[in-house]
Copies of this chain bind each other. A is one copy, B any other.
């Protein structure tokens, strides 16, 4: 027995329960769907090699998934090797379509996304800050979603709804305890979205940064990276964590509120009530303060102004970016020491500002990160840009299909969704 073999590589499989045959089959169905969903069309041979399952098991699983309408197969191309070419399997996007919703501080967005990550349609609408109740917001979202859902053929299967929101979310039922930058407290958002869209079930809500992390991990800068921190800047700072290849949610889904870790007790008061939180020192308000910009309308205006002035070489703006970047880096150093990630991805407004922040961020990080974890952690900007949380919301909703492919079948768009009913009522 070698040292590495007895390390914790099998921990993920070591549960307190055994695995019975039916559960094994569901797991294996999910494994095949997940693989195709994430890596695209794959030959049967590559599925055999990649999953470790034998050829006949793979054949059975593909047959079941084909019956479920989730995958389809086409003859493989002739290759130079001997024998028949291996058929190519791919996901069938209409077999599981989800509605993704993002509620952020400066905008609201919706998208229809099919299995495999196929985006049918998406819409984003900017909104001024702080003027919208949860009720108004859900109504707005329902109106935005209506044409997207109506555009889907009725043979498409609506498999769920995923919602990204800038707040502290209880995962079990999508209850938003606090969204300080929306001015919301104790909002049963999951139930409200279900009612507003006349879908009482299958609505999953999560924090925006958590979903940004999921999206970057599955389809962005963090593909193949098992330990990732996604830092989202909008009005505040949120963090989404991928630990051992899986989202780290905490006991109720509240994990990742790194914006509210104290980093400077002599600093500014934070919207959460504490003093010197990371977001109070490195967030948008601090940037505007240092740069001498008076907030007008949305944070997008602030970021646009900063970028324009930085491009023009404005000294005060560049100094402000250096100051913010240093604090941002110190906080990243803190997280590197705690999480030992491979990658830190800066998203939201930090993605836009990254060219101007990068050197100060690296400097701040070096001040705080210990050598060993610091040398392993690469810092980069988001690949997916402002849509990362929206894509993450789609991935969240699709994760239900992956967890139990056979449980999704039988809900056509017409059955599952009520746009048509509404038109008739």
Contacts and interface: CB of A to CB of B under 8 A. Distances in A.
Contact of A20 (B53, B202, B272): B53
A24 interface: yes
Interface residues of A, number: 101
Given A6-B160, A8-B249, A28 B18 contact: yes
Contact of A18 (B3, B14, B31): B31
B16 A370 contact: no
A5 B404 contact: yes
A190 interface: yes
A424 interface: no
A263 B265 contact: yes
A407 B9 CA distance: 15
A189 to B, nearest CB: 12
Interface in A11-38: 11-20, 23-24, 27-28, 30-32, 34-35
A353 to B, nearest CB: 22
A253 interface: yes
Nearest to A35: B16
Contact of A244 (B171, B246, B253, B254): B246
With most chain B CB atoms within 10 A of its CB, the pick from A8, A341, A404 is A8
A408 interface: yes
A243 interface: yes
A339 B255 contact: yes
A60 B256 CA distance: 44
Nearest to A185: B371
A262 interface: yes
Interface stretch (A63-71, A100-108, A330-338): A330-338
A128 interface: no
B340 A338 contact: no
A284 to B, nearest CB: 19
Interface in A373-404: 373, 376, 399-400, 402-404
A193 to B, nearest CB: 11
A338 B256 contact: yes
A226 to B, nearest CB: 7
Nearest to A1: B407
B3 A17 contact: no
A201 interface: yes
Top 5 A-B pairs ranked by shortest CB distance? Answer: A250-B340, A6-B400, A18-B51, A261-B334, A177-B372
27 contacts: A1-B400, A3-B201, A10-B30, A11-B247, A12-B12, A14-B34, A16-B245, A18-B51, A18-B52, A18-B57, A24-B24, A170-B372, A177-B371, A226-B251, A248-B248, A248-B339, A250-B340, A251-B341, A252-B373, A252-B376, A254-B340, A254-B373, A255-B338, A261-B334, A262-B263, A262-B333, A265-B266
